[in-house]
Amino acid sequence: MRWRRGLAVACVVGLAGCASDGGSSTPPPEPSAEPPSAAAGPTAQPDRGGGGGAPTGPDPVREEPERSATPGRLQQLVDEMALDELAHRVQVVSVAGTRPRRVTSAEGSANLADFGARTPAAVMRTFRPGGVIYFDHNVGSVRQVRRLSAGLHQAAQPTGAPTLLGVDQEGGSVSRLPGPAATGQPAARDLGGDPRFGRSSARRVGRAMAAMGLDVDFAPVADVDTVGGAGVIGERSFGTTSGVVAPMVRAQVCGYHRGGVGVSLKHWPGHGSTSVDSHDSLPTLTLPTRTWRREHLPSFVAGISGGADMVMTGHLAYPALDPSGDPASLSRTLTHDWLRQRLGFDGVVVTDALDMAAIAGRGTPGEIAVLALRAGADLLLMSPSPQGATAGIRAAVADGRLSRERLESSVLRVLRLADATAARGPAGC
């Protein structure tokens, strides 16, 4: 099952050229530095996904699930979730271990510290995250990853709610998975700006990922590398102009979908014009909005109109659009007003990793989690303290900074995405 609403919205409001793969995307009208009003952009479309977490009290009675549920069933699950479960279901976490039910002493200790459970399968049953992201410490062989994924999905089944399993698999230097399809995936720059090559490469990798039980790839990179060797994106970008990058992004979205996995564009609003690495400190974009519109916006428009499932917000400040200087990951102007209202994106908004130095000084893990959710994020990627994030969300609901309804809308959006990956058929792109 694939969604095409993003394309329809972009066509209606004139934000994208609705070109076929390899075609160009026409950027939106010249932006203003003022936050857009609801009337300035399209009304947000119906939710496409959702998420969830672990309850503090007794579990509600739930039927034994299948991985693919009906929309009404997903809403019922969300309605029944305790507050802590909602807070867990808006988090994507990293677990320690390569096997679902057996861990080393060090792996078990790490999981206990983060989640109060020893094994990855126990984390799924008790903490109940919205997603799990794999890193090198989770990955050995194709067979091992397949077994880990199967074990995690199986452990999540009694909760009644599907969980996303994802990975950063861009190609080139950012390759996490084993097997020839993944290890042989070219870096974005090495695809030579050829949309057919980009689409076929993504399809091949998507099939390999789906065969290993993975649901989403945190790719493709939609950043346009406009500073060359002075930048931090480098070969991770498809090229140095929007005319090259936009059709490549759209082609890769299609390819991954044809392969059977969802995707996330990154790093909104564009990491290609800065030499500062957000792993180390907060980059501030200084380019004029006219330049940003021409060089950096079209690739995100192309990916969204092509049906991207998620958009990752970067730890990037852009005072020309949000004078507060807040990074996009914590900025309501850049996340809600621009992504949701101006661009009409109705998929899942996921933050970049919350353990990065760029936002470390913004507060405790709980405070940062609340800021990201208030900005409009649906998924919080890798909080340095998942339980601290949960406590912060719980406190924010208690004092009115967040509502339960706000959490439920994100959880439902993530659940719908996870459910769609379980029932995904051939993409029609």
Phi then psi dihedrals of residue 409, to 5 deg: -65, -40
In the residue annotation, 267 being an active-site residue is answered as no
Please state, in angstroms and rounded to a whole number, the distance separating the CA atoms of residues 52 and 415.
8
Of 337, 352, 378, 419, catalytic:
352
Contacts of 277 (CB under 8 A, 6+ apart): 232, 283
Catalytic residue chosen out of the listed positions 79, 137, 190, 279: 279
137 labelled catalytic: no
Phi/psi at 131 (nearest 5 deg)?
-165, 165
DSSP 116-169: S-SSHHHHHHHT--SEEEE-GGG-S-HHHHHHHHHHHHHHHGGGTS--EEEE--
Mark residue 182 as left, alpha or beta (left: phi above 0; alpha: psi -120 to 50; beta: remaining).
alpha
What is the spatial order of strands in the sheet that 380-381 belongs to? 348-351, 310-313, 262-268, 216-217, 164-167, 131-134, 91-93, 380-381
Residue closest to 223 by CA, chosen among 279, 175, 285, 181: 285
Q: Where are the alpha helices (DSSP H) in 17-141?
A: 71-80, 83-89, 105-115, 120-126
Dihedral of CA 36/38/41/46: which sign? positive
- Which residues are the active-site residues? 279, 352
